[in-house]
Amino acid sequence: SQELEQSPQSLIVQEGKNLTINCTSSKTLYGLYWYKQKYGEGLIFLMMLQKGGEEKSHEKITAKLDEKKQQSSLHITASQPSHAGIYLCGAYTGNQFYFGTGTSLTVIP
């Protein structure tokens, strides 16, 4: 079983639409990281959440951490083609760092 499950696995949205990606852990989260990856390239760090209830925003991307639910959500407002790519959550569970299964986002102009 995966330590970090992301949903949905893939997402196709029209430009301008809002969307949410979820990351759920099977274990207690000690900090949650969000990364974006363009196809076949390295990962770009988006933001890190450390405390339950914490919420951070960067441009049109907002992420929240719900420790009680062992879950984080990433919300994109008014999506643009530049938002397309694979979004990955990552977290330490105990001493090991795991990445989520990934969500592939396509934004149709």
Partner 1 sequence: ETGVTQTPRHLVMGMTNKKSLKCEQHLGHNAMYWYKQSAKKPLELMFVYNFKEQTENNSVPSRFSPECPNSSHLFLHLHTLQPEDSALYLCASSQTSGQTYEQYFGPGTRLTVT
Binding site for partner 1 (CB under 8 A): 2, 4, 30-31, 33, 35, 40-45, 48, 50, 88, 90, 92, 96-102
**CB nearer partner 1, residue 9 or residue 18:** 9
Structure tokens at 45: 């760090």
Least CB distance from residue 79 to partner 1, whole Å? 23
**CB nearer partner 1, residue 40 or residue 109:** 40
Name the maximum alpha-carbon separation found in the chain: 42
Least CB distance from residue 47 to partner 1, whole Å? 9
Least CB distance from residue 98 to partner 1, whole Å? 7
**CB nearer partner 1, residue 13 or residue 30:** 30
Spell out the long-range contacts of 71-75 with Cβ–Cβ below 8 A and sequence spacing 24 or more. Answer: 71/22, 71/23, 71/24, 71/25, 72/22, 72/23, 72/29, 72/32, 72/34, 73/20, 73/21, 73/22, 73/23, 74/20, 74/21, 74/22, 74/23, 74/34, 74/46, 75/18, 75/19, 75/20, 75/21
**CB nearer partner 1, residue 14 or residue 82:** 82
Least CB distance from residue 14 to partner 1, whole Å? 26
